[in-house]
Chain A
Amino acid sequence: MRFRKYYKIFRVALIERLTYRSDFLLTSGLRLLPMVTTILLWSAVYGLDYDKEIGNFRLTEMIAYLLLVHISRMFSSMPGLAAGIAIDIREGTLKKYLLQPIDMLGYLITYRVAHKIAYIVTSFLPYAVLFFLCRDYFERFPDAQTLAAYVVSLLLAYVIGFYFEACIGMIGFWMLEVTSLLYIVNTLNFFISGQMFPIDLLPRPAVRVLKLMPFQYMAYFPAAVFLGKIRGEALWQGLLAEAAWALGLFLLARTLFHFGLRRYSAYGG
């Protein structure tokens, strides 16, 4: 019965996502443009020297990394989640979750799964074309164990991305306006998660600090796993740390929701 409730949420969210197809297709198509410019920029930086290494990445590995980061972000990015939660809190519309036999975080994570599946299915073709055209940048396909670790890291990236954004959104129980905080967090995240370039290119002290934080798991870590940059014991330690962050953010989100509801007055809505 409980599963059926969340299945219906999933189905409705999927239909809603596919209703405005032209907006979706235009965005999916334009998402290829930054990838093209990124490949060309780094080719220019390396001067087409395929043996040159920058931060332990050769040209082919750098471009493969930047392509794989898009896959990581496909799983970990949650556009509008934090802002949506903050708006629900501020405008009182959060009460719709409280009046129904449904858990808000359970609803939202199911809703996002549907959106992610819709996004992956509908953008599969342009990404497949792009990866096919760039197949020469992938020197080798990872073995079964590395591939399994990669898949696990992507699933955990989804959990981390969701609960991180949910926690930011639930700061709205204590602060009237979280949009500005969200801008700062997203802007920083774009850099420190490794979306612009591998965080290994930064100075060593910065790299040591950033690798202790959860942001790397939203972009850098899965891509580095696929490329074989993180192997053996470091790989299992990394996955364990990622799982720990996922669990920690899950618990934090639940705690914030519990204590936030105590303060919530449900004005408006």
Chain B
Amino acid sequence: MGNVFRYVRLWFAFARFALLGELAFRGNFIMKMLVEILWLVILLMFYRTIFASTKLVAGWRQDQYLFFVGCYFALEGLIETLFLENCQDFSNQVRTGNLDASLLQPLDEQFLVSCRKIDWSTVPNFLMGAGVMIMSLAENPEWRFNPWQLLIFVAVFFCALLLAYSFLLILTSSAVWMIRNQSLMELWWLFSSLMRYPREIFQSNWAWPIGWVFTFLLPVMLVINVPANVMVRTLEPENVLFIAVATVIMLGVSRWFFCRALRRYRSASS
């Protein structure tokens, strides 16, 4: 237990230093936030353009789809805040050999590699995503506040965050074999396109095998779909249980993969 508190204290220290660093360059910090606001505006304009032409998209109504968009934006914001910059940095550390310094620390390597930096400029993304979710619930004529539903949503959202983290860690670890993995941000953007839309769109004749693979083998499609369903459509206990089990399994798999990658690592003379 003492060990856990030690890591929690360390994480808060990292967060504090990162915030001081961000505030030293306030102009850049504000500019990065503006970019994220712009991106949300573009997502919402895309969503409005779609629903100007139809009332339903794969069974999702406009207000429900808006919640999906908000949920995606919030979760992506958390990923970018907590993990993405660290993972991007990992490939450079592997290539230059600077990973040695992290491996010599008396700390868990996965924690040090994936949690050291906090990108405070993307924290507003989470808040904006939450705002969009609240706005969509206000537009939803059928939704009523239910504390148990909210609790399950928060738990499932947390599972979704850890599930997304495990996929990101696997992609990041591949840098040890590929050496040059300069496009991790692009790789993550491409891979996460699978969680950007409701998985019900994969129900056509030719697409269902793809949907099956990315639901049951690499369950990336569950990441936004299940939390959003819990809150604005139907609470399906089997899906809730499935995402919880998938999260535990994927965390284990990603941990194993990361450890394999570290064993493969050969320093490049730091």
The interface of chain A, by Cβ under 8 A from chain B, is 19-20, 22-23, 26-27, 30-31, 33-34, 36-37, 40-41, 43-47, 54, 79, 177, 179-181, 183-184, 187-188, 190-191, 196-197, 201-202
Chain A residue contacts of B46, Cβ below 8 A = 191, 196-197
Q: Is the pair A20, B197 in contact by a Cβ cutoff of 8 Å?
A: no
Q: Which residue of B lies closest to A40 (CB)?
A: B201
| Closest CB in chain A relative to B221 CB, distance in Å | 10
Task: Say whether B174 contacts A26, CB under 8 Å.
Answer: yes
Of the candidates A40, A43, A46, A184, the one whose C-beta lies within 8 Å of that of B31 is A184
The answer to whether the Cβ of B104 comes within 8 Å of any Cβ in the partner chain is: no
Q: Provide a sorted-by-A list of 7 A–B residue pairs whose CB atoms are within 8 angstroms.
A: A31-B190, A33-B193, A34-B193, A43-B204, A179-B28, A180-B27, A180-B35
When distances are taken between beta carbons in the complex, the residues of chain B under 8 Å from A45 are: 50, 53-54, 57
Q: Which of B's residues lie within 8 Å of A, judged by CB? A: 27-28, 31-32, 34-35, 38-39, 42, 45-46, 49-50, 53-54, 56-58, 174, 177-183, 186-187, 190-191, 193-194, 196-197, 200-202, 204, 207, 210
Question: A174 CA to B174 CA in the complex, in Å?
Answer: 39
Judge whether B204 and A22 touch: CB under 8 Å: no
Q: B57 contacts which chain A residues (CB < 8 A)?
A: 41, 44-45
Closest residue to A190 on the B side, CB-wise? B42
Chain A nearest CB: distance from B259 CB in Å?
20
- On whether the beta carbons of A54 and B53 are closer than 8 Å, the reply is yes
Residues of chain B within 8 A of A23, CB atoms compared: 178-183
A41 close to B178 (CB less than 8 A):
no
Docked pose: A34 CA to B179 CA in angstroms: 25
Contact of B39 among A26, A187, A202 (CB under 8 A): A187
- Asked whether B197 lies within 8 Å of A40 as measured between CB atoms, the reply is yes
Chain B residues with Cβ under 8 A from A31's Cβ?
Answer: 190
B201→A187 contact, CB < 8 A? no
| Cα of A187 to Cα of B204 in the assembled complex, Å | 31
Beyond contacts A20-B178, A23-B181: 10 other A-B pairs, Cβ-Cβ < 8 A, are A19-B180, A23-B178, A23-B179, A27-B183, A27-B186, A40-B202, A45-B53, A47-B56, A184-B34, A187-B39
